[in-house]
Amino acid sequence: MSEKFSATLRIGDLNDYIAPSQACIVSLKSTPTKPSDKSQVATSSKQLKTEPVKISLKDCLACSGCITSAETVMLEKQSLDEFLLNVDKGKAVIVSLSPQSRASLAVHFGISQLQVFRKLTTLFKSLGVKAIFDTSCSRDLSLIESCNEFMTRYNQSTDDESRKSLLPMISSACPGWICYAEKTLGSYVLPYISSVKSPQQTIGVIVKKHICQKMGLRPDDVYHVTVMPCYDKKLEASRDDFVFEVDGAKSNEDGSLSVSEVDSVLTTGEVLDLIQLKGVDFEGLEESPLDSMLTNFSDGHLYGVRGSSGGYAETIFRYAAKVIFGREIEGPVDFRTIKNSDFQEVTLEVEGKTVLKFALCYGFRNLQNVVRKIKIGKCDYHFLEIMACPSGCLNGGGQIKPKPGQSAKQLIPLLQAAYAENVLVSDPFANPIVQSLYNEWLEKPGSEKARQLMHTEYHPIVKSITSQLHNW
């Protein structure tokens, strides 16, 4: 955030990521301490003390480029220093790594994603971290719940008119998109957004409400950190929707007994800062065995779905084609580029009629066009995988920046290659870890317990008056 004010942006002014954001309209200027005696004003004016500025992520108005560029919005509980402080406190620290972050570090150090995972396991455990998990595992659970939700919506729509009130279903894994939708688009778009929590929040629930018990820990004794490609994941982790009460928990500073699903988020860039801060020779670091409890790893390979932003469109399309129309799709789903590489679609035709139409929609330029069609009732898609950043999550604002002389456009193919290396494409429904989570805990996809724990709600948010002022 900048210390200066700026005019509120209109929707047409929004620019996609890969440039510094516009200045924030929330003032970060500290408040001067006033002299107690008027006679001292003249002599004290140059010596006024200032109070430290404290802001929280809830102060974000989603009014500027922050939502597209995932600009750094730091919070006391969302920093590298806070992470190290909690490690030093002797808390049971658990870290969950995203595959996009591992790919970014792999490209930076010139090693494989699997090597990065093993080396980070060594690094974090040397600091005192108890366990390191894989959000590819929780992503599989989110995908299964999303498939079930899509089927429910599709089956509830008996004709084209009723379908318009339930579809398109829109993915909910991108917090930049969610923030924008809640604070800018109002209630006409929110009903279309999937209620399934993102992989970050899904693994937060798994860790705090299930794995804790298996490890003999209380939720409030665990400090859960995720490593993500996006600063907006810090916004997501701080949502009130993702906090729960724990009986007998130690009171927080504000007197509450609440526990967050995810206590802190570190970006990929902040993990690189940690490596440099500790003076670690990362390439020469020993590789440790991976924690198997929540990690998609078997026979020397990681496994997961296609799609660098979670594979929502492909996975749900493949599932719907099979379950509804009996069509088994072999190999990759054939997405066709429509207007640009960040807007692609795929269709399924049965007897000459298009019965399924899905799209990938990345970046705000493409997003605005889709939103406009939804508003006027002219959107004919059944599902939309929407991400705020062009090129999706691999290009998140929290990723490691291109090296000198390297452009972002040149970096993307390298990230995509690293993301897929040593990764076997698999069916989320066949994931044995996820199957055991359902059998032991969640019962079945779409069950009442799964809906209670793995789904959430979104709310239209009225902006502060300050966000509506021009050059405030």
CATH of span 143-196+305-396+420-429 = 3.40.950.10
Q: How far apart are CA 47 and CA 195, in angstroms?
A: 53
User: What is the pLDDT, as a whole number, of residue 461?
Assistant: 78
Name the residue type at position 353.
Answer: K
What's the pLDDT tens digit per position in 121-158?
Answer: 999 999 999 999 999 999 999 999 999 999 999 988 76
- Return the residue matching tokens 């090129």: 391
What's the pLDDT tens digit per position in 218-249?
Answer: 999 999 999 999 988 998 998 889 999 887 65
Q: Give the 3-state secondary structure of 446-457.
A: CCHHHHHHHECC
Which H or E element spans position 152?
Answer: helix 135-156
Q: How far is CA 320 from CA 139, 146, 329, 350, 358, in A?
A: 18, 11, 10, 13, 11
User: Residue 227: what are its φ and ψ, rounded to 5°?
Assistant: -110, 115
pTM above 0.75, yes or no: yes
Q: How far apart are CA 198 and CA 100, in angstroms?
A: 14
Give alpha helix (H) positions in 359-399.
Answer: 364-375
Residue 471 has pLDDT above 50, yes or no: no
What's the pLDDT tens digit per position in 17-57?
Answer: 433 344 454 444 544 544 445 444 444 444 445 555 555 55
Q: Judge whether 108 and 176 are in contact, CB under 8 Å.
A: no
Handedness of CA 298, 261, 144, 340 (dihedral sign): negative
User: What is the pLDDT, as a whole number, of residue 249?
Assistant: 56
Pairing of strands 222-228, 264-267: parallel
What's the pLDDT tens digit per position in 264-320?
Answer: 999 999 999 999 999 999 999 999 999 999 999 988 889 999 888 889 999 999 999
Q: How far is CA 69 from CA 65, 179, 227, in A?
A: 6, 13, 18
Q: How far apart are CA 411 and CA 58, in angstroms?
A: 33
The CB-side HSE value for 463 (13 A sphere, CA atoms) comes to 20
Q: How far apart are CA 334 and CA 345, in angstroms?
A: 8
Residue 386, beta-bridge partner list: 361
What's the pLDDT tens digit per position in 426-469?
Answer: 999 999 999 999 999 999 999 999 999 999 999 887 655 554 55
Q: Give me 76's structure tokens.
A: 């006391």
